[in-house]
Structure 1
Amino acid sequence: MNARPAPASTRHEGRVLDRAVIGARRFFVGISASRVITCGAGTWLVAAFFAATGIYGLERGGHMPVAIETVRDAADSVANFAGFRIANVNLSGQNHVTPGEILATAGVKPNSTLVFLDAEAARERLEQLAWIKRATVQKLYPDRLDIQIVEREGYALWQKDGKINVIARDGTIIAPYSDDARYIRLPIVVGEGAQKHVGDIVEALSLVPGVRDQVRAAIRVADRRWTLKMRNGIDVRLPERDIGDALQELAVLDRDKQLLTRDITIIDLRLPDRVSVRLSDAAYEARQVELKAKAKTAKKEGNT
C-alpha cells in the first residue's frame, strides 16, 4: 500500500527544518573538535541551541503568546518580592468605559508590577477601544500607575441597513443605539457615506436653528448631497455644494412666507437661481380648482 505524499508546504517546512538540524550538527561537531572553545562555552551553546529549538516549536505550534504570558507572570511574581507590585492605580476621564475594561485592556492584573508593564503597548491597546480617543499611561515607581482617558463624545446617530449606531464627530462608530437619555437629542443621519460627512450637515444646520429644529433626519443621497426629511413629511433637497447658503435661503423663506408649514411635499434648492416646490396631491387639486374658477371669472368679465 502506497503512503499518501505529504503536502508541498509540509515537505518544504520539513526540508527547512532538516537543513537547520544538519547545519546545527555540523556546527556542534566543529565546536567539539576545537580546542579553543572551553567546556563552559560549549555548555552554554548547547543550552542556547535547545532554547532556540524550543522557541521554534512554540512558534510553530501557536503557543508563543501563552508562553510569553507565563514568563511574564513568573517575572512579576519575582518583582513582587522586590516591592514593585502595582498597589495604586489612578484612573481619570472615563465615563462610558468601566474601570474593569480599562485595566483588562491595559493588561493590569492583581500581581502585575511596574517593571514588566509595557506602558506604550498598554496605551495603544486602550486607544483601540471605540469610546477612547486618547489615553496616557504613566508608571510612577515603585508601585503607582496613572491612566488618563479622553473619551469620544456621541455626535450623531447613523442609520444604515436598519441599524442605528452612535458615532463620533469623525464618523467612528462608538456604540449601538440604546434608549439612553444622552442620545435622544442627537441628530440623525441616514445612508452610505453619511457618517463621513456628518460634521458638514450638523454644523450647517446649527447656524439655522429655526430649520434645524424641524428636521427629523438628514439623508445622504448617492454619497453626494443631502435631503432633509422634515418632521411634517416635507423633503428638502439640498445642493452638493454651498449647503450653508441654501439653508440660509430656506430659513428666510420660512420666516417670510412660512414655506415649511405649507401643503407641499418637496422643496428643491439644488439650483442656485430658483426654488422649486411640489404641492401635495390635495393641494394640487385645490390649486387646479382655484385656477379654473379664476379662468371662468375672467371669461365672464371679458364677455360683459
Structure 2
Amino acid sequence: MFSVTVKRIGRPSHQAEPSYPEGDGRLILPRPLRRVVRFLVSLGSGRIHIPAHVGTVSALAFFAVTGLYGMSLGGHTDAVAQATTTAAGFAIDDVKVSGNSETSEIEILQLLGLDGTTSLVALDVDAARQKIAKLPWVENVEVRKIYPKTIEVKLKERQAYAIWQHGQELSLVEKGGSVIAPLRDNKFSELPLVVGRGAEVAATSLEAEFAKWPEIKARVKAYVWVSGRRWDLHMDNGIAVKLPEDDVEVALARLSKFMKEQDLLERDIAAVDLRLTDRTAIELTPEAMARRQLVLDQRTKELKKAGQNI
C-alpha cells in the first residue's frame, strides 16, 4: 500500500518557532540574525531578483559620497563647484557697473575677485556687496547675477560738500560732516574750504546762511571756525571778515551794503570786525598804517607851523 503525505504550502500567520530538545547540539541564532540568514539564502537561491546595473550605480554613489566627504574635509568644495559650473558655461565674462563717478571700476573688479574662470553660480553676491560697500565713496551698492555670464553692480555714491582742513590734512566731507576721503587733486577746488576743529560739522549751515549773499560767497576763500562758536571769512584778497556768533544774517547785510556803497573790500585794509551790532571796526594793513601815520605827522607839522604864524 502507498502512504500519502500532505505538505502545506506557505507559512501560517501564527506558526510557532520550532523547538529542539535541549542538548541536541544545534546552534540557535538570535531573532534579528535569522532574518539576515533567510535573506542571504533567498538571494543565493535566486528567489530574489536584483535589477541590472544596481551594483554599478551603488558603487558610483558610494564613490561620489566618499569624494564629497573628502572635499568637505579638505576645504575644496568651492573650488570643485567653481570648476564644474565654469565648464558648464557659467564663467563670468561681463561686469556692468553703473552709478560710479569717483569709484574706479578696477577697484570693483579686484574686490569681486574675477580671474577669467570665476563661476557665476558659485559667486557669493552678499560677500561681494559687503566688500564694495567698504569703498570710501560708496553710500550703498546692489550686486546682481544675470545668467548665464553677467554681473551687474549698481552704486550710489556719497556727495562731497566741502573741503575740511584739519592741521596739515585736507579731506572731503559730506554735508553732515562725515569724512569721505583725503583730497588728492584739484577736481574739487570749487568746494568751500572750512578750517578748524569742528568746522566740518558746523559747515552744514553755511549754504543756507550765504544763500542771500552770493556776491559775498563768491569772494570767500576759506571759512575759519573760531573757538567752536563763530566764523571768520578769509576773502580772496586777503581781508579777514569777523562774523558774530549770533545774528549772522544782519552782519552779512551790513557787509553787503559796505561793499556796494563804499567798495570796502577794495580798500587797503586787513580786517573788518562785524561782531558788534552797533559799530564796525576796520583794521588797516601795516602799509596803510604807515601811510596814515605819515599823513598824520605831516598834518601835525602843518598845524604847528600855522600856529606859529598867527
- Range into which the TM-score falls when normalised by the shorter chain: 0.5 to 0.7
Q: TM-score, length-normalised on structure 1?
A: 0.64
Change (3 A) 1:249 1:116: farther
Post-superposition offset of 1:129: 0.9
- Aligned equivalents of 2:113 and 2:227: distance in 1? 44
Equivalent of 2:197, from 192, 197, 207?
Answer: 192
For 1:109 and 1:172, locate their aligned partners in 2 and report how far apart those are by CA, in whole Å: 35
Matched position secondary structure for 1:124: helix
In the TM superposition, what are the counterparts of 1:49-198 in structure 2 within 5 Å?
71-180=77-186, 182-198=187-203
For residues 274 and 121 of structure 1, the distance between their equivalents in structure 2, rounded to whole angstroms, comes to: 62
Percent identical pairs in the alignment equals 34
Aligned to 1:275: 280
What is the Cα deviation at residue 291 of structure 1? Answer: 6.7
CA RMSD in angstroms comes to: 3.6
Q: Whole-Å Cα distance in 2 between the matches of residues 73 and 239 of structure 1?
A: 66
Q: In the aligned structure 1, how far is the partner of 2:228 from the partner of 2:138?
A: 28
Higher fraction of helix? 1
- The residue aligned with 2:239 is 234
Larger radius of gyration: 2
Query: Quick one: distance in 2 between partners of 1:74 and 1:275?
Result: 79
The CA distance in 1 between the partners of 2:139 and 2:263, in whole Å, is: 43
Query: How far apart are 1:90 and its partner, in Å?
Result: 1.2
CA separation of 1:258/1:95 partners in 2, compared to 1, >3 Å: closer, same or farther?
same
Give the number of aligned pairs.
238
1:264 aligns with 2:272: no
State the Cα distance separating 1:212 from its structure 2 match: 2.0
> How far apart are residue 284 of structure 1 and its match?
4.2
Unaligned runs of at least 5 residues, structure 1: 1-50, 56-66
- Deviation at residue 109 of structure 1 after TM alignment: 4.3
For 1:210, the equivalent position in structure 2 comes to 215
Query: 1:147: Cα distance to partner?
Result: 0.5
Matches of 2:225 and 2:78 in 1, distance apart? 50
SS of 1:135's partner is strand
One-letter amino acid matched to 1:129? L
Q: CA offsets, 1:126-170, max 9 Å, x none?
A: 222112222221223333221112223443322222222333434
Distance in 2 of aligned mates of 1:152 and 1:100: 19
Give the distance between the partners of 1:242 and 1:103, measured in 2 at CA.
52
